[in-house]
């Protein structure tokens, strides 16, 4: 297969509008989780989230517009012939909220097709693009698909653009499911009680090895392997034995041609819900036995960014490999059984050439990527 490189990255999160700022604040153990002020939460019995500061739009409209402005300002240019794969779970869902309040919107303001074309036009791409909506693994699946297109010679360059915003619709839905923490989430902590929602986005340019060399680009990292599986257990809860995640990781490792000893660290989904975190620890123990691979998650700092999570976490994972350190897991204090000595509330120095990043979502879907270090073109 053709090796897949990441040649450009843009990231926006509630910690900052660039990957550099987000990384620095992650390493400092900062958290952007605050009381929600964007909409009323008094009736929901939950009130914390990680929202991007100053995300406003004069004259109304979806807040997705300014979020994309921030994300795409620092990205590109991308080759015009690049394939476009977008990943978002709800798009401009706040437009639907406006309709319920009697505010008129345009006929295309809720259409994903129009959103995809808008991103393609903004990036100057000829490809009409597709959107992958696979719950919380959406952007991980998008990256896997983009990498597969390049690895099998069906494309030389692919842009993966992923994003989701904080809306009252999504917040109230997770609240109704009793999935939101009463405070800030505490991933892999024995006292965890739910996730914390966030917002943000990531754009990544994937290129083939040959294209990288011809253009003299520097590689920010590689996508060596990918896998996906569904445990088909429950509409929201994961399989307790982690069978779906185990299968996804095994596929990714097979594609990459590596075994568990190759991993410097694991970037886990780590939402802070009771069952997800326990499932992940079970899956990693099944996969790697007593081999101690450091585990971390960024969701205690930036919240769960839904469709953007895998893209943001891939960018952080590649930076971790480049810097030889993983950020602390914010909110982690009292280790869940199985997390002792693996998850840390302080930065952890790592050595190795590969990192595993995983995501899991509603409907039992699981996805995994094997990331590798970059090189100078």
Residues 6+ apart with CB under 8 A from 250: 227, 287
Question: What is the rounded distance in angstroms from the CA atom of residue 182 to the CA atom of residue 175?
Answer: 10
Closest CA to 63 of 93, 25, 19, 21: 93
Question: What is the rounded distance in angstroms from the CA atom of residue 307 to the CA atom of residue 264?
Answer: 25
Residues labelled catalytic: 136, 269, 304
Residues 6+ apart with CB under 8 A from 200: 11, 12, 13, 14, 52, 67, 163, 164, 302, 305, 308, 312
Question: What is the rounded distance in angstroms from the CA atom of residue 260 to the CA atom of residue 240?
Answer: 22
- The burial of 340, by beta-carbon neighbours within 10 Å (0-12 exposed, 13-18 middle, 19 or more buried), is given as exposed
Question: What is the rounded distance in angstroms from the CA atom of residue 340 to the CA atom of residue 134?
Answer: 31
Would you call the peptide bond into 77 cis, given omega within 30 degrees of 0 as the criterion? yes
Residue with tokens 């490792």: 253
């Amino acid at each position: 297969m053709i090796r897949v490189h990441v040649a450009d990255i843009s990231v926006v999160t509630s910690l900052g509008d660039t990957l550099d700022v987000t990384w620095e604040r992650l390493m400092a153990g900062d958290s952007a989780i605050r009381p929600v002020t964007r909409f009323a939460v008094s009736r929901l019995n939950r009130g914390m989230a990680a929202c991007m500061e100053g995300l406003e739009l004069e004259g109304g409209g979806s807040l997705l517009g300014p979020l994309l402005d921030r994300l795409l300002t620092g990205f590109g240019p991308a080759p015009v012939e690049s394939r476009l794969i977008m990943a978002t779970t709800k798009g401009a869902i706040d437009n639907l909220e406006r309709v319920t309040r009697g505010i008129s919107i345009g006929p295309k303001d809720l259409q994903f097709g129009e959103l995809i074309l808008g991103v393609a036009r903004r990036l100057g791409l000829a490809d009409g693009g597709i959107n992958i909506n696979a719950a919380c693994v959406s952007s991980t699946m998008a990256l896997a698909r983009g990498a597969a297109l390049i690895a099998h010679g069906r494309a030389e360059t692919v842009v993966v653009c992923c994003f989701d915003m904080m809306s009252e619709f999504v917040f109230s839905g997770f609240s109704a499911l009793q999935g939101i923490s009463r405070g800030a989430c505490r991933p892999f902590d024995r006292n965890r009680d739910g996730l914390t929602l966030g917002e943000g986005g990531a754009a990544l340019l994937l290129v083939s090895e040959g294209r990288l060399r011809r253009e003299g680009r520097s590689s920010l990292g590689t996508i060596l392997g990918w896998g996906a599986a569904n445990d088909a257990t429950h509409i929201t809860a994961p399989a307790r034995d982690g069978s779906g995640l185990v299968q996804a990781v095994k596929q990714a490792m097979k594609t990459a041609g590596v075994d568990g000893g190759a991993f410097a660290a694991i970037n886990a989904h780590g939402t802070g819900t009771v069952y997800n975190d326990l499932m992940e620890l079970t899956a990693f123990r099944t996969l790697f036995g007593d081999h101690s691979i450091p585990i971390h998650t960024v969701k205690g700092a930036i919240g769960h960014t839904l469709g953007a999570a895998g893209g943001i976490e891939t960018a952080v994972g590649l930076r971790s490999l480049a810097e030889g350190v993983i950020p602390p897991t914010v909110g982690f204090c009292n280790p869940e059984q199985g997390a002792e000595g693996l998850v840390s509330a302080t930065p952890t120095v790592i050595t190795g050439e590969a990192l595993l990043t995983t995501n899991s979502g509603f409907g039992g879907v699981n996805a995994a990527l094997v990331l590798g270090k970059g090189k100078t073109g």
